[in-house]
Structure formats: C-alpha cells, structure tokens
Amino acid sequence: MNVLVIGAGALGSLVGGVLSRKHNVTIIGRQEQVDVLNREGLHIRGLTVGDFHPNATTGYPADMSFDLIIICVKSYNTELALDHVAPHIKETTFFLSLQNGLNNEELISEKLRADNLPGSVLGGITCHGVTYKGPGLVKHAGKGDTFIGLYTDVRDEKTRAKVEQIVQAFNDAGLEVELTGAIRREIWAKTIINSAINPLTAITGSRNGDLLTDRYLREMMDNLVEEGVEIARSHDIDITVEELIRRTHAVADRTKNNISSMLQDITRKRRTEIESINGALYDKAKLKNIYAPLNRSMYHMINAIQRQYMKED
C-alpha cells in the first residue's frame, strides 16, 4: 500500500516506521523532523527496535495518491491536517484517526462530505506507550491494545474486506491490531479513561500511579469515570461504571511511572488536548441536559493554566 502518516511525533513515528517494513510510507512532519528523517532515518528503540527509512516531507507529495492516510496529529490540528488532501485521495482511500478524544472521526467525515470527496473513515485507538525523544528517535516503552473499525455503517463487502486487509497489514508489520465492530464504544472508553487521568496529573503534577495511591486523587479519578459513563450511556454507548473503573485503574497501574501527555504539554508550555477530552465530554453532556460539574471543572482549570503561559507567547 501507499501509506501517508500525518504527524511525525511519537505515535506517528512508531506507526510509520513499523509499516515501512512492508509498505511505501510517507510521513508528513515539521521541517526539523523531515530533515533528520531524510538524512539519518527513523530510529525506534525499546520494545520495538529498528532503523527505518520512510519518505518524509513537510506537505502532501505531488502527483501521489494514497490507499491509507493515518492521522496522528493533536486533535486540535485535525482540520488543518486535511487541507489540500483532495488531489491525493481516490475512491478506495481510507482515513484512519489514531488520535485522542472525541469528534476527530466526525471532523474527517464532515470534511469529505463538505468537499464532496471520496474515501472511508476508520476509527482507531491505541494504548501503546511511545515517547518522543527528538526528530527521528522514539522509545516504544509499553505495549497496549489497539483497535480499528469502520466508523460508519458500511454493508459493502469490498469495503469490509479492505478494512480486514489494513488490519492484517498492521499485524504483518509487527503492530498487533484487532478489528472491532464497536469502535465508537472503544473511542468513548479511551476518552473517559483519559478524562480521568490526564487533567488530574496535569493539575497536581503527579505521575499516573499517584492517582491510585493517593486516596483523594483516586476518589476524584473514579468520580470522573462515573460522570463520563453517565454521559456515554446517554449517547447510547453500552458501557458500565464497573468496567471503566477497572480499565482506568489498570491503565494507571500499567503506566504508573509515566508522565501523562497532558502534564508533558503543561510542563513544556504547549497547548493541551483538553478540548477534545473533558471539553468534548462536557459538550456531549449539555446536548443531553446532563449536569457534568467534574468535566466542566477539569476543562476550565486546564484552560486557565495553559492560558497563562500562552499569553506569555
């Protein structure tokens, strides 16, 4: 396949590098990233070890169309990532979001509809722990489940077969992926888990495992999960509090020494993804007239923190 990966950060580098074992992969990144990738290649260390040489560019390559476009940018850059995509897609192109939060798949679908473009949309979630060490170097520190599934109901057998081929391509390249018919549920579940871990660690400066050992943080984490599940169920997502608390605790324990991505963003004075996580959950709650004070508080507090340093810029 011709594969385009938009985003040369931690996850984009892991996915692009591994898929380049078997496929023609192009990665879109910033100039400093692209320079290193083209000059020295992409180096992955940790649980996955390899030196890879995908194509790298700062924009869509001319005169080339893609079978699979994987979006790995921050959620607030989803629309920007799709600018100028039209000449590079065909009827059989698939878009796969491997981003955090809600609404990314909707934004991609809306873009295709608004511009009358072909293509099918896949949703995806991954719990791999990947750390960006700098341009061309990432550490694969932890393995986790990865699910991919069609985001819209498609009954066409050719489309379903192609999705199975994409999943198999990941597995053949060495990244274990499971095909699911309930990708919306998995996206909601991951968003709720992130909503309970990320802002609490960012506000308190804690590592993920501290949310389990500090009784006050643990109670707040569980309460956020409960509120998130109530919102999800109001949108016909079949999920329970018991399952999500168990899964959230498991993630916090498995990544107990990790610094969450939101805390890393706060520390580096970068924009966070709070809008697509707690902010999106709060918006979904308002649509169903549900009172969601915890997600609202997390959303406002993180925004207040990042507004202070964004003003400095």
Give the range of the structural domain holding residue 265, as residue numbers without chain letter: 183-312
139 and 214 in a single domain? The answer is: no
From 179, 194, 220, give the residue that closes a domain: 179
Residue 150 pairs in a beta bridge with: 122
73 and 164 in a single domain? The answer is: yes
Tell me which residues are annotated as active site.
190
Tokens 């341009």, residue located: 135
108 and 224 in a single domain? The answer is: no
Which residue spans within 62-128 are E strands per DSSP?
A: 68-71, 94-97, 120-126
pLDDT at 312: 60
pLDDT at 88: 93
Q: How far apart are CA 117 and CA 165, in angstroms?
A: 22
pLDDT at 249: 96
Any idea what the CATH number is for the domain that residue 266 is in? 1.10.1040.10
157 and 35 in a single domain? The answer is: yes
From 161, 179, 197, give the residue that closes a domain: 179
From 179, 207, 237, give the residue that closes a domain: 179
CA angle 105, 110, 113 (to 5 degrees): 130
Any idea what the CATH number is for the domain that residue 17 is in? 3.40.50.720
State the pTM of this model.
Answer: 0.92
Low-confidence stretches of the chain (pLDDT < 70) are 153-155, 312-313
43 and 130 in a single domain? The answer is: yes
Per residue in 96-145, pLDDT (tens digit) is 999 999 999 999 999 999 999 888 999 999 988 888 899 999 999 878 78
118 and 134 in a single domain? The answer is: yes
Number of H helices and E strands in the chain, helices first, is 12, 12
12 and 97 in a single domain? The answer is: yes
Residue 105 pairs in a beta bridge with: none
175 and 188 in a single domain? The answer is: no
168 and 214 in a single domain? The answer is: no
115 and 205 in a single domain? The answer is: no
pLDDT at 155: 65
218 and 168 in a single domain? The answer is: no
pLDDT at 110: 93
Total domain count, the chain: 2
